[in-house]
Structures are given as structure tokens and as C-alpha cells.
Amino acid sequence: MFMKKIVLKISGMTCSACSSGLEKYLNKQKGIIRASVNLVLSIASVEYQGLSIKEIEKYIENAGFKSAGEFKNISEVENKKPEKIKLIVLGILIILMMYVGMNHMFNLPNVLLLNHNHPIILASFMFIVAIIFLIYGFDIIKNGWKNLIHLIPNMDTLVMFSVVCSFLYSLYGFIEIILGNTEFVHNLYFESTCMIIYFIKLGRFIEDISKDKTKSALSNLVQITPDYAILKKKKSKEIKLTIDEVKPGDILISKSGEKIAVDGIVDSGKSYVDESFITGESKPVLKNKGSKVIAGSILYDGYLEYKATDIGKNSTISKIIEIVINATSNKSKIQRITDKISGYFVPIIFIIALITFIVHLFINSSFSESLIYFVTVLVVACPCAIGLAVPLVVVISNGLCAQKGIFLKNGDVIETARNINTIVFDKTGTLTNGKLNIDKVFNYSSRSNQELLNIVSNIESLSNHPISTAFSIEQKLDVSNYEAMSGIGIKGSINNKTYYLGNAKLLEKLKIRNNYADDYSKLINLGCSIVFVVENKKVLALIGVRDTIRKDVKKAIKEFNKNNIDVYMLTGDNHITAEVIARELGIKNVFANSLPQDKDKFIKDLINDGKFVAMTGDGINDAPALKCASVAISINDGTDIAIDSADVILMNNDINNIIDLIKISKKSYKIIKQNLFWAFLYNMCMIPIAAGAFSYYGISMSPMIGSIAMVISSITVVLNSLRLRRIKI
């Protein structure tokens, strides 16, 4: 049985105790290998084996929550207008209730007969209003009870106890008033019931709006693709299709100002295309026959016909969305710690509230006073602030990275990238474009240069090493017995003759003497990478190929040096060629002639020396080093194995984005620390006040003030997190 993965939309989560509780519950279930729950996106990412999706959804239901099906769209936003109208109407009712309940204290004019001189009328009015608010907040009470039953108590559980207790005690007082004991009119707390529900709902409404804002950068990823495509038929006929109707191999059309409908390869036409939404690169890119195009790209001018290739889950956009979801679901160390704290928070608060109630009864407070202290402790405690402190920042920072064309595959990166003090670069294809050109050929064979280069080109066509891009086939030849020799070169047979292509280490492997030192030195001094061409232990030629340095790499190296980040070049190329490139870029630390295992050991040695190392590479030979680096970074042009080994993908191949990543990480971590400091300080200060620890000094709190304080605490964390969106990079 193969392991499968699904991301489900979850409803019913209201605080971090919900998400951590559900996550803990799912991870205990048979058949679930790993589950991660994201509070901000309201999703559960589940890796499972031997289960159906219905069985997983049943687990979620058993935990007290509900699955809303597979999560497909980051931009899913509920219509909040009905909730807004309810809050406005009930807000007016709250103000009226506060007025009639407190007008006797400030000698304010009476409203009809709603005053303490008419206790039955006043109590009846407050009872009816409380019933309205109980209906409005029934979802909170229901969720609180369900989560308590399932042993996953959350914020709703605290609110449920506080609301039910204050309402039942007030109901008892209301009955006493009807029976003639009108003094109970001063011991009614119906307004507390209403206030608690109202401010909890108001706080969550504001939180939901803020969460939608945190997802805005991610939402742009799914909003950029058009709803339809233009299919080209015979006789130049055009048919409009929905994206779902497009099939791989269809020839589609995009004209000036239109968007590319799906990923594909240009069949004909020429146009400059804006791909900034995906790569962060602001300059348009020229596309012509054979060029890859990405869904959502905008044509500046011209006309393109392109063959549809990757559709649906295989498309670039879908893969990026999956990467973003994984990054926000895979929790960092600090988030795992706060989730663990949140899981214990609610039971601890309930115990504190119960102890507060018992202590106040013991010191001769009345039952109603003790109950109010109990209710206030439950209401003022705020697990939401603790729970939102980290995931909100993670979602926002992932959005910021996405806008720059930086995609994080690992949730730890946002926390750890700030520690990078050493960065190691592969040369070919990373610092350079990897698009090599043949600079000079020393031909020692009887074949012409054209014939020799065609043999080399046919063998190199089977390689995915950047050097292979320097060669183009003039005439197709059959190549057999192809083999890649890691860190050395490749070999292949043509017309029953075996050819070896590689670097200077190839001669050592084949035990051939290097009698070509002068020509080799000439190519080295030109800054060329050298390909030895060997047949039957005879060197046929030396081919020098040169690469071009990626744009803005010099600027990035200067920025690393300015920020006291040590820069190393680690390459399998020869030392002299590497030094030529290093001098041009301003890199002082160069290690050449490195095999994949040498790169791996080099990274490990740096880490053992106490360095926090970011390795940036693009090829198969970089994969071992990427695997053991503190942070592994791959450019988008890299091989699949390099990208799979990486924690970070630079979509626009610009290493300047590494500086942006470090800045975002530092700012994110700073805001996370501020959020956690505020959340813990708030609870440390407010809970003792709510419990009446300072009542002797005249410092106390009502349930209404407690609910307002709780809302302010959550909103403070949310607003502080949103500051990250204004970071200047």
C-alpha cells in the first residue's frame, strides 16, 4: 500500500486549543502516518495509508469538528456581510441593555419602564435579550460542549461555562424576582451573558477579516489563471473552452493582453510575457517556438500558439499552492512548543477558575460574587492570542516570500533562515547561467571539428549536466551504453565505439597521461570549463566551454559580505577556472575539483565548526550537500533531485532573493517573539486581576471588561502580525 496525502478544509476550529487538539487526536488514529493542522488556513494536512477519505473525515467528526471536503482554493472567503449586519443590530441592543442596566448609577433618564423601579419589567427585558444572544451564540456553546465531551477543551469550552453559569444564576434571580424577592434585581448578570457572547463574536469577526488579509498574497496565486482557453481547430477556427475541458496536447491560442490558460510549450509565434506573478521577475521574458509558458502569464504583445502540457494538479500553479500549503502546515520548533502550551492552557484556566470560586466562597464572599470571579477568569483568559502568535506570521511571511518568487518547502525555514552566517554556492548553473557556449576546440583527431562536435553533442544530449547545454546536435546518431560517472563525466557508444567525456579526473580514472598541459592551461586562463574527449584511451580533443555569470550575482555577493555572511564557492570545476569566476564576483573562499561526496563533507565540516550553512545548488551532484545543509536552496532551473532536496526554491533564479529571505526571517521571528511576549504577559497580568488577587487594593474586573480585554489581546496579536506585510525588501 502506498502512502497518500490529502488536505482537508476544517470547520469548527476557533482557537489554538482546537487545532492542537485535533492534530493530537488525528496522529493517534490507526492508518494516519502524520497529520498537521493549520489554524489560520483552517486546514488539516493528512498523510495516510489503508484508509478512505470518508474514514479520515469520520475521525475529524469524532474529534468534534467537521470536514468541508478537500481544500482546493486558498482564496476561499466566506461572505461576512450577514455577520456584519447581525453585529450592528445586536450592538445596538447591547448599548440599550447597558443603558437600562446602569442608568440608575448615573441618574440618566429612564427608557419606558426599563429601570430598577420596575424590577419585573426590567428583569423580563434582560431575560428576553439574553435568550436572543444565547441563540446567536449557540454555536459557541455547542462547540464548547462537544469539545469537552471529546476531551479537547478549547476557548469555546471556557466561554460555554462562563455564559451558562452567569445565565443560570441570573435565571434563578429572575425567578426570585417574579416570586416577590425584588432585591435580586441587583444580582442579575444577563448583561454579562450578552456581553461575553457579543465581544467573542466581534473579536472573531475581526480575526477572520485579518486572517483573510494574511492569505491575500497566497490568494493571488490562484486568482491569476483565466477561466477559459481558446482552442485552435482546423481551418484557423477558434473555440472557447473552460479550463477543465482542455486536454494535454491541445493547441491553444493567446493574443496580446491575454493570459496563458495552462502550462505549455510554444508551437508558433513570438511574444514578450510577464511572469512576475510566479518568479518575482519584473522584466518581461521573450517566448518563441520551444519556450515553456506558465498558466497566468500575460502577453505584452504578439501572438502565441502553444501546446497544453501540464493541467490541473500537475500545473505549476497547483504545485506551488501545494508547496505553500505544506510550508504553512509543517510547523517550526517554536510553533510546536506554543501548540503544546495551548493544549494544556484551557484545562489549567478552568482549574484556576474553579480554585478562585472555592477560595472566594471560603473567605466569606457571597455565592454571586464568587461566581462572577469564576466567570471573569474563564472569559479573560486568551489562548487565541498564544495560538495565533506564530501561525499568522508564518502565513504572512510565506505570502511575502511568494510575492518575491521564493517558495518555502519547509516550515522551519522562516524561523531558521535568520541564523544563516555562511552561504555556499555551486558555480555552474547557480552563480552562472549554466548556458555554456563552446569557446575553443583543440582537435587532435583525424575528424573535422564538425564531425567530432556532433559525436560529443549526441552523447551530451543524454546528460542533464549544465555543460551539455553548450552542445547542439547537427545530425542525430544512435547512442548506446550511456553511463554517468558522478563528478567525473559520462560515456556512450556510437557505431560500436565507446567515447568518454569529462574533466581532468577522467584521465586519472582511465589511467591516461595528460600530455596536453599547454592547451589545457590556455583554456583554463580563458576561464573555460574543459571537456576531455577520449576514445580507446586516446585523447581526441579538448573542448573549452564558457559560461556567463547570472545577472545581479555581484550585487548579491556584496550584500552578503556587507552583512558579515561568509561566502564560499564549491565546484567540481578546476581550480584555475573557478578562481577566474571567483575574482570577478568578489568571492574569496574557493574550493574546486569537488566530487559530490567532497561537497557533502565540506558542508558537514562547516556545520561542525559551528556555522549555520545555506547551500545553494542546481545539479544532481549538489543533492548530497543540499541534504545536509542547515538550509538547502535550489534555483528553479535546477534538476528535479536538487529541487526535491531543497527547503527553498528561487523561482526567478536570482540569488539576491536569499537576502530577502533572511530579512523576512529576521523580521518574522522578531514579530513572533513580540506576539508571544504580549500573549503571555497579558494572561499573566489579567488572570490574577480577574481572580480578585488585587481586589483589596480596589483593582478588580467584571466579566464584560474581561471579554473586552480578551478580544483586545487577540486583536493586538493580529495587528502586530499584519505589520509584517509592510516590510520593505
Q: How far apart are CA 459 and CA 453, in angstroms?
A: 10
291: cell is 519556450
- Alpha helical stretches, state H, 511-585: 517-525, 553-562, 575-585
pLDDT at 104: 54
For 237-276, write each residue's pLDDT tens digit. 788 888 778 888 888 888 888 888 888 899 888 888 877 6
pTM above 0.75, yes or no: no
Higher pLDDT, 475 or 14: 475
Residues 660-681, mean pLDDT to the nearest whole number: 91
Query: Which among 619, 651, 683 is the end of a domain?
Result: 651
Query: Which is more confident, 72 or 716?
Result: 716
Distance of CA 110 to the CA centre of its chain: 56
Please give the Cα distance from 534 to 513 (Å, whole number). Answer: 12
- DSSP for 22-37, written as a single string: HHHHHHTSTTEEEEEE
Q: For the residues 504-521, what does the mean pLDDT come to?
A: 88
pLDDT at 558 over 60: yes
Buried-state track 529-542, b at ≥16 Cβ within 10 A, e below 16: bbbbbbeeeebbbb
pLDDT in the model for residue 215:
57
Residue 591 has pLDDT above 70, yes or no: yes
Higher local confidence (pLDDT), 278 or 132: 132
Is residue 657 situated within a structural domain? no
Q: Is residue 348 part of a domain?
A: yes
Residues 156 and 297 in one domain: no
C-alpha cell at 302: 504578439
Q: Is-catalytic flag, 426?
A: yes
Confidence tier at 345 by pLDDT (50, 70, 90): confident
Same domain for 192 and 103: yes
Look at the chain and report how many structural domains it folds into. Answer: 5
Q: Residue 495: which region, alpha, beta or left (left: phi > 0; alpha: psi -120 to 50)?
A: left
Task: Summarize the confidence of residues 287-302 as an average pLDDT.
Answer: 83
Answer yes or no: do 454 and 491 share one domain.
Answer: yes
Give the pLDDT confidence of 457-468 residue by residue, as tens digits.
Answer: 999 999 888 788
Residue range 644-672: average pLDDT? 88
603 and 583, same structural domain?
yes
How far is 135 from 622, CA to CA, in rounded Å? 61
Please give the residue range of the domain that contains residue 457.
Answer: 437-546
CATH of the domain at 60: 3.30.70.100
**Domain endpoint, select from 499, 528, 546:** 546
Name residues whose C-beta falls within 8 Å of residue 554's C-beta, 6 or more positions apart in sequence. Answer: 584, 585, 586
CB 482 within 8 A of CB 459: yes
Mean pLDDT for the chain?
82
The CATH number assigned to the domain holding 484 equals: 3.40.1110.10
C-alpha cell at 224: 491569476
CATH of the domain at 288: 2.70.150.10
Are 47 and 66 part of one and the same domain?
yes
Predicted pLDDT at 110: 59
The answer for 294, left when phi > 0, alpha when psi is -120 to 50, beta otherwise, is beta
Rounded mean pLDDT, 640-651? 77
Q: Is residue 574 situated within a structural domain?
A: yes
Write out 393-446 in H/E/C secondary structure: HHHHHHHHHHHCCEEECCCCHHHHHHHCCEEEECHHHHHECCCCEEEEEEECCC
300 vs 463: which has the higher pLDDT: 463
Asked whether residue 177 falls in the same domain as residue 64, the answer is no
Active-site hit among 250, 412, 426, 547: 426
Statement to judge: residues 303 and 380 lie in one domain: no
Q: Is residue 660 part of a domain?
A: no
Residues 538 and 473 in one domain: yes
Identity of residue 621: N
Residues 554 and 426 in one domain: yes
Q: Which of 586, 618, 651 is the last residue of a domain?
A: 651
The answer on 189 and 264 residing in a single domain is: no
pLDDT at 76 over 60: no
Q: Determine which of 47-61, 65-79, 602-616, 651-665 has the lowest per-residue pLDDT on average.
A: 65-79
Q: Are residues 85 and 208 in the same domain?
A: yes
Q: Does the pLDDT of residue 547 top 70, yes or no?
A: yes
Percentages of the chain per state (helix, strand, coil), in multiples of 5:
55, 20, 30
Whether the CA torsion 27, 31, 35, 41 is positive or negative: it is negative
Query: For 132-154, what is the mean pLDDT?
Result: 84
Are residues 181 and 260 part of one domain?
A: no
pLDDT value of residue 223: 53
DSSP 242: E
Averaged over 598-611, what is the pLDDT?
A: 90
Q: pLDDT at residue 225 above 80?
A: no
Q: What is the mean pLDDT of residues 351-366?
A: 90
Task: Give the per-residue pLDDT at 210.
Answer: 61
Give per-residue pLDDT as tens, 91-103: 888 888 777 766 5
